[in-house]
Amino acid sequence: MSEDQEAQEDELLALASIYDEEEFRRAESGQEGEIHICLELPSDFKLSVKGEKCAEYSVSFLPPLILSFELPADYPSSSPPLFTLSSKWLSRAQLAALCKRLDEVWEELRGSVVLFSWIQFLKEETLMFLDIQSPLVVVNAGDAPADRKKSEAGLKADPPLDPRAVQEMDPSSDTLSQLLDFDETQRQKAFETRVFCCGICFVDKLGSGCLLFKECQHVYCKACLTEYFQIQIRDGQVQCLNCPEPKCTSLATPSQVKLLVGEEEFARYDRLLLQSSLDLMADVVYCPRKMCNTAVMLEPDTTMGMCPSCQYAFCTLCKRGYHGLSHCTPTADELKGLRDEYIAATPEGKKFLEQRYGKRVIQKAVEESFSREWLKENCKNCPRCGTNIQKVHGCNKMTCMSCQQYFCWICLGTLTRVNPYSHFNNPNSPCFNQLFQGVALEEENFWSDEED
């Protein structure tokens, strides 16, 4: 084996031992390969879109520079490696400048292997060499290259750049999206290899078994969050899938929820999340039919809803069949609570209730409510027929004016017609010696009931 071949083999073996398979790839046959070089970005490095002054995005990773090479038979003694340099975010002019610098490094090291020196330069000095600072201005793929613009304008284009400089920007997609997607993927890879202590079970676990809340950066293990999410979804609390950290309001994204729970639970989560969003929309109601419950969009200034699924026309106020301009007819349960609702309402609320039910219905509900309260406070029901009875004066042996039943005012027990007072004279009775219990002193000489 010649000295050049031996030097090449040693260099390729050294590179394979330094870099993993994602960074260094050698062809199965021949002395050629490909090196993916990720630049070391400073902290808080940002991207900005050309023409958008306020839009800046923090990134930790940018797509790698790709150095494809082929080693000639007389490398390194005479010839340099043949190479191309490509990138998804550097311009061709910037890539051409880097190619020229690689040529200069070869001239400085002529006769020695040079690939590792090239890699170190590209990895550590590219940003400084090209004077790239944060924020890096990204040109959208849809923007026409300068040469094409000049050609369309009838001007002479600039001289062709170095053919070894290859720009891999996809003109059919947005450049910024490609860069942000790559950064997200690399961040996730870095996260999965780190160790975190779960704030719930306090067990150290790899990031691959954990979930990161993006907004607050708190980390919990997937096992604990899965159980937490499942409980919340079963209880219908889909708006509460937030970070378990006390007082933290960061919410899990739908993709994170889908990653942890089963298909059936995620379908319920998705449905309830949509429903809660619709509930916040003033122009959306639900069909009142229990077997339908379809969301219905309302026309402005109308109280009629028409379900697009079952074609049911209903009043959006009382949720019963549409009754035109007639007032809503309250149910017995609604009528009971109408008085309290009306009294506690604001002037606007009272006006709305009057328009909905009518003033006469409101007045009747208020009067009946006051009557019910007075009867509840001042009367008791006959134990036989249930008639409301008020005790004005006299002893505790009562006579119902409706069914003529004798009963005890204290315990509401029925009394015999032969000797109703035995209930108060029997030592085993709960009301023993309480015939005049609660009677005012001035009433003690009133004996009309005993004379019956």
Active site residues: 395
The CA-CA-CA angle for residues 312, 317, 319, to 5°, reads 35
Is the preceding omega at residue 80 within 30 degrees of 0, hence cis? no
Q: In the 8-state DSSP scheme, what is residue 429?
A: S
**210-217: long-range pairs with CB below 8 Å, 24+:** 211/252, 211/256, 211/259, 211/260, 213/243, 213/248, 213/250, 213/251, 213/252, 214/250, 214/253, 215/243, 215/250, 215/251, 216/243, 216/245, 216/248, 216/250
Residue type present at position 8: Q
| Residue 418 CB neighbour total at 10 angstroms | 6
- Report the C-alpha gap between 368 and 178 in whole angstroms: 70
Residues 6+ apart with CB under 8 A from 338: 330, 353, 357, 361, 362, 365, 366, 369
Report which residue type is found at 239.
Answer: Q
Q: Which residues face 284 on adjacent strands?
A: 297
Pairing of strands 210-212, 195-197: unpaired
Rounded CA separation 407/395 (Å):
11
Whether 284 contacts 296, CB under 8 Å:
yes
One-letter amino acid at 56 equals E
Q: Residue 167: CA atoms inside 13 Å, Cβ hemisphere, count?
A: 17
